[in-house]
Amino acid sequence: MYNYLKQVMKRFVVAIIFLTIVFRVAAQDYIFSQYYLDKFSINPAFAGIGAYSEVGTIFRDQWPGIEKGYKIYSAYYRQKLPSVQSGLALRVNGNVSGGAYSQNAASVIYAYDFHLTYGVKCSLGIEIGFLNKSLNQSQLVYYSMIDAATGNTSALNESVEYDSYNSLHFSTGVCVYTKHTIVGLGVHRLTKMVITGVDNYMPVLLTGFVNHKIVLNTVTIKQKVEDIYILPSLLYTHSPVADMIMPGVSFSGYKLRLGLAYRYQRSDYQSSAIVTSIGFSFGNLELGFGHDFDLGAISGISKGSNEVGLKYNFENSQKNKGSKTILCPAF
């Protein structure tokens, strides 16, 4: 028991250093197209699912063709706690847009995983975190700064305020899953997060998804059994200001993952897109790349969006192995 706790503490120290390096983050509601590499933004119940501990990070460069487009980051460490049928995760994430508006967040996630019946499991998760949003108005371009004759911009000749707002945020979620299917629902920002004044706040965000694993074949590669499968999936998010639905399908096998999806947006500031992704596995290490081909009004100048993600799975714990163990089929 002492050696196990010592190993867990070493992993947490490594994870904190790792997350600190990545946490140069700074704001929109966002969902990564490769959301299997940022699963806690979908549902905190994922902290309890899976027979291993892991650490991961992902970066999204949205609209690189537009000056100062969105830059989005996320990183996490998850520790499996099999002796208490639970999982604990640390997560940092954030984004910056236009060089003026930024967001930083750090949170702790806990989930409890249990059997509903033989072959069906459920995970219940809760997330508690701290979030900072800031607006540096000196980085904005005002009408008075634009030369009507040349279109050039000049420096702002007046002082402006730097607005910064802090808030606690709470999320919860549930996942029900079998060996081949998983369904989940998440509720994010359970408290109204005031940005400015009493009427300007970030509303509750709902997320829902379903994935179903269709096994095509099972092979043995270097003494390890691997399923060759396709994975139809559906992701949906809702808030009063925006909706997103993303049906897709991916192929996984022979250490390779290929994905294709369609992201439909109902909002004023994002466009729909065709989503492509490719991932590679190197032992316990997984590397993923993605590109969104925009279909909306900005498709000609946005140059789409690019993502790159990295995930490392620590060795499986012997305590996680058993006839009743069910691994999440998508993540």
Residue carrying the six token digits 């994905």: 259
CA distances for 312 relative to 6, 37, 285, 326, angstroms: 20, 10, 5, 20
pLDDT, residue 171, reads 93
What architecture (CATH level 2) is domain 2-320? Answer: Beta Barrel (2.40)
pLDDT, residue 240, reads 78
pLDDT in tens, 145-171: 555 555 555 555 555 555 677 888 899
pLDDT, residue 21, reads 40
Alpha-carbon torsion 88, 72, 189, 275, what sign?
negative
Q: Domain limits of the chain?
A: 2-320
CA distance 186 to 263: 19
Query: Which secondary structure element, helix H or strand E, spans residue 7, and what is its range?
Result: helix 2-22
Q: Dihedral (C-alpha) 292, 296, 297, 300: value to the nearest 10 degrees?
A: 30
pLDDT, residue 19, reads 45
pLDDT, residue 308, reads 96
pLDDT in tens, 169-213: 899 999 999 989 999 999 998 765 544 444 445 678 899 999 999
Per DSSP, the three-state class of 327 is: coil
Alpha-carbon torsion 26, 306, 264, 180, what sign?
negative
Most distant CA pair in the chain, distance: 75
**Residue of 279, 317, 223, 198 whose CA lies nearest to 35:** 279
Question: Which residues, given as ranges, of the chain have pLDDT below 50?
Answer: 14-28, 142-143, 194-200, 317-328
Using a 10 angstrom Cβ sphere, with 0-12 exposed, 13-18 middle and 19 or more buried, the burial of residue 310 is middle
**Residue of 164, 165, 163, 183 whose CA lies nearest to 174:** 183
pLDDT, residue 246, reads 94
